[in-house]
């Protein structure tokens, strides 16, 4: 195969997702996931693009062991996709929090590693795992250039009035408490695709991107720059999500601590893991496929959860339309945004004031780039499957080629 192959790594605390992508053709060569790293019952799923998916149970005591297995699978005589590690030109790492230090992707050096480590405080569950992934790759591929691509970077263009909270200013100065935003790679990829689909210059548009997956966030992109986004210091703020509450009155935390005799930590755990549509549906499901079935069957918990979810999205669209003094195009992406016509319809039913009409037939399709508003809609509505791995591969290639 011609050109450089880029290994994209997304490392969580006990899992590691990977894709090998050719930078020239942008074709996926192989992908997979290692799960339960450091626990009993760890396994790797490996799928070469033109071969069979394999699932191997294999002990992985740590992330280095997991990456060693990934590299072995990619270079295996029979099922591998490259002859040797020399055919992997660079590694792109997804990093959750870049704080204010990183407004762009960057080649990883010792100084960069130190700066990422300094952001650990801001994302204690994610950044340490991301760093472990980088160190493991560096150990096994010491000569291969590595690039860090940050979830927060795209949002660093937000103006002060959008990123500051109404708190004593010294909390920002002392601790960098502010809005950062996440899913940046996706918001960037989708907003650029939207401009391309419309055949318009990116810098001329007002774009709202609704990234609706288990984690959900929404962003306002005005004239080529992100000007606001719904996630904050952490990914807990903003939309109602699969299991996360999104925006709540902060006083609820102390109120519930007292009522339930729980610690702040325990209540935050409820806000992260037992809330959102899962909580609203009385524990029925965080998955919109289940909720849609429930809704259609007339079940109150599912109806309540989906209505609250759609209403919150619509409210943010209104806020961001105000922030940008208008909107040209609204994009839906991620698991729900790409695949759930029902919820897209519920959200758009609030948007008549933007002169949006949804083309019912177009909206029934899923998982492909398409326009779902009618030709006479003043604001256009697009569905754009996100591709964070491809975006990371592109960023990586641009920095190492
Ligand atoms: P994550 O934030 O974990 O990456 P995803 O983007 O995978 O989340 O989104 C998960 C949600 O997307 C689930 O609620 C699920 O119902 C929905 N979803 C994913 N694939 C489909 C599909 N093919 N049809 C309908 N809904 C889907």
- Per-residue model confidence as pLDDT tens digits over 85-95: 999 999 999 99
Alpha carbon distance 235, 224 (integer Å): 23
| 309 ligand 1 Cβ < 6 A | no
Instruction: Taking residues 318-340, report their average pLDDT.
Output: 98
- Give me 124's structure tokens: 């204690």
CA separation for the pair 158, 184 (Å, rounded): 12
Query: What SS3 class is residue 40?
Result: coil
Query: Residue 81: pLDDT above 80?
Result: yes
Q: Ligand 1 in contact with 239 (CB < 6 A)?
A: no
Alpha-carbon torsion angle 334, 336, 340, 345, nearest 10: -100
Q: Which residues are catalytic?
A: 151
Q: Provide the token pair at 102.
A: 């990183």
Residue in this structure with the two tokens 């339930």, named with its chain if needed: 260
Residue-wise pLDDT for 208-218, tens only, equals 999 999 999 99
Asked if the model's pLDDT at residue 8 lies above 80, the reply is yes
pLDDT digits (tens, 9 = 90+) for 120-146: 988 888 899 999 999 999 999 999 999
Please state the pTM of the whole predicted model.
Answer: 0.94
Residue 66 is predicted with a pLDDT of 94
Q: Give the Å distance between the CA of 183 and the centre of ligand 1.
A: 15
**Is any atom of ligand 1 closer than 6 Å to the C-beta of 336?**
yes
Distance CA 213, CA 192 (A): 19
Q: How far is CA 112 from CA 11, 119, 134, 143, 175, in A?
A: 17, 11, 11, 17, 20
CA of 336 to the centre of ligand 1 (A): 5
Closest by alpha carbon to 46, among 62, 64, 61, 28?
Answer: 28
Pocket test for ligand 1, best of 17, 213, 305 (most atoms within 8 A of CB): 213
pLDDT at 373: 96
Whether ligand 1 lies within 6 angstroms of the CB of 372 is answered as no
As a whole number of angstroms, the distance between CA 203 and CA 200 comes to: 9
Which residues partner with 6 through β-bridges?
A: 21, 90
Cα 343 to middle of ligand 1, angstroms: 12
pLDDT band at 3 (very low <50, low <70, confident <90, very high): confident
**Residue 214 CA to ligand 1 centre (angstroms):** 7
Average confidence (pLDDT) over 101-115: 96
User: What's the pLDDT band for 1 if we cut at 50, 70, 90?
Assistant: low
Tracing tokens 């591929």 back to the chain, one arrives at 141
The rounded mean pLDDT for the chain is: 96
């Amino acid at each position: 195969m011609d050109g450089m192959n880029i290994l994209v790594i997304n490392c969580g605390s006990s899992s590691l997702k990977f894709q090998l992508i050719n930078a020239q053709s942008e074709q996926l060569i192989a992908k997979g996931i290692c799960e339960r790293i450091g626990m009993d019952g760890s396994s790797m799923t490996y799928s070469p693009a033109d071969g069979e998916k394999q699932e191997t149970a294999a002990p992985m005591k740590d992330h280095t062991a997991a990456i060693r297995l990934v590299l072995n699978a990619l270079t295996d005589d029979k099922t591998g996709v490259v002859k040797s590690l020399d055919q992997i030109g660079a590694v792109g790492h997804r990093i959750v929090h870049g704080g204010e230090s990183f407004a762009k992707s960057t080649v990883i050096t010792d100084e960069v590693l130190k700066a990422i480590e300094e952001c650990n405080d801001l994302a204690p569950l994610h950044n340490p795992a991301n760093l472990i992934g980088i160190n493991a790759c560096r150990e096994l591929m010491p000569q291969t250039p590595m690039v860090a691509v940050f979830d927060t970077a795209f949002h660093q263009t937000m103006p002060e009035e959008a990123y500051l909270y109404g708190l004593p200013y010294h909390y920002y100065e002392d601790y960098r408490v502010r809005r950062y935003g996440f899913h940046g790679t996706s918001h960037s990829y989708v907003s650029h695709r939207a401009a391309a689909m419309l055949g318009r210059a990116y810098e001329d548009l007002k774009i709202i991107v609704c990234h609706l997956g288990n984690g959900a966030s929404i962003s306002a992109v005005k004239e080529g720059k992100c000007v606001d986004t719904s996630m904050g210091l952490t990914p807990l703020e903003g939309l109602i999500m699969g299991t996360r509450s999104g925006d709540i009155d902060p006083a609820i935390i102390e109120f519930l601590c007292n009522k339930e005799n729980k610690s702040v930590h325990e209540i935050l755990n409820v806000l992260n893991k037992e809330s959102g549509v899962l909580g609203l549906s009385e524990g029925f499901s965080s998955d919109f496929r289940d909720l849609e079935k429930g809704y259609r069957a007339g079940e109150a918990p599912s109806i309540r959860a989906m209505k609250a979810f759609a209403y919150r999205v619509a409210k943010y669209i209104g806020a961001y339309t105000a922030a940008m003094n208008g909107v040209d195009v609204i994009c839906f992406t991620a698991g729900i945004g790409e695949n759930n016509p029902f919820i897209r319809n519920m959200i758009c039913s609030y948007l008549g004031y933007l002169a949006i009409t949804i083309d019912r037939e177009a909206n029934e399709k899923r998982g492909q780039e398409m326009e779902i508003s009618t030709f006479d809609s003043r604001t256009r509505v697009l569905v754009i499957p996100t591709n964070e791995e491809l975006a990371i591969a592109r960023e990586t290639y641009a920095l190492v080629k």
